Amino acid sequence: MEPNGILPLWKEPGMTSHDCVFRLRKILKTKKVGHTGTLDPQVDGVLPICLGRSTKVAEYITDQGKTYEAEVMIGLSTETEDAEGAIVEQDASDKTISREQLEDVLQSLTGDIKQIPPMYSAVKVNGRKLYEYARKGETVERPVRTVHIDSIELLDEEDSWQGQHIRFRIRIRCGKGTYIRTLAVQIGEALGYPAHMSRLTRTQSGSFSKEQCVTLAEVEEIAQNGDIGSILQPLAYGLSAFPFEEITPDLLFGIKNGQVLEEHPVLKTEPFVVFTYQGRPAALYKRHPDKPGKMKPEKMFGFPPTDEV
């Protein structure tokens, strides 16, 4: 039987997210494998992988908040805004940055902030990815986007930093679409210096944390022992950001058949509601865009539902 569930993978440096999917397809002998948002090759960290029927919830995990630990280097900027790119600007002056000064800057960059995606990114402009323009030496106007930063915590304990090149570590909790590389550049700009992100690790993605994760080598060993189900989370785990409501008898026929129904009260404050049957997700409903007071199915998970892994 093909595996169904969500695999909390620890992506190691040097691999693309697609490399991980390719390897898992071979290890688990299944084609239904989907990742939940790319991590750059040099970045390590939490990468939930959806298998089988659980690929239906991959987009909702992708949309959930993330936590990163990053190292920022002040004193030079690069083409790619990280340590991989060629140096664009360098400031070799002796610098002194106080803890208070740095914490003020980090505070100013929390909440809703505007970012311009890096040229070396997968954001599409006029049907082409930005990195495709960049690799050909072409420039194009990039869209300004608003992202949400929940918090930025300074992880180092120094009272001040001195030197030509200054490094410090931060923990960022943020919403979908945030570029930590760009945030590093913005921190440098606020301090008055060129900057880039010199290292990055993703420690949390939605409900999935570092402590839950397994490496590809560990997955391979567990799969060879025929115990892959022991490390998979059920489909329901990927929907844990939304409220769950058990289907009442009067709603059973309508939800089973994916009908437009009277809006559930929880949708006045939440984007989705997960309807469960005997405790398992059966359907995901949202407010109807054209019919006030009504709700419609966003996704159906099969009936009777199953969380088999």
Backbone phi, psi, residue 216, to 5°: -60, -40
Distance CA 279, CA 62 (A): 24
Distance CA 193, CA 101 (A): 13
Distance CA 297, CA 300 (A): 7
Take residue 201 and report the two structure tokens written for it: 């690790």
Beta-carbon contacts of residue 121 (< 8 Å; ≥ 6 apart): 129, 130, 131, 179
Positions marked active-site = 40
Distance CA 100, CA 82 (A): 25
Residue type, 243: P
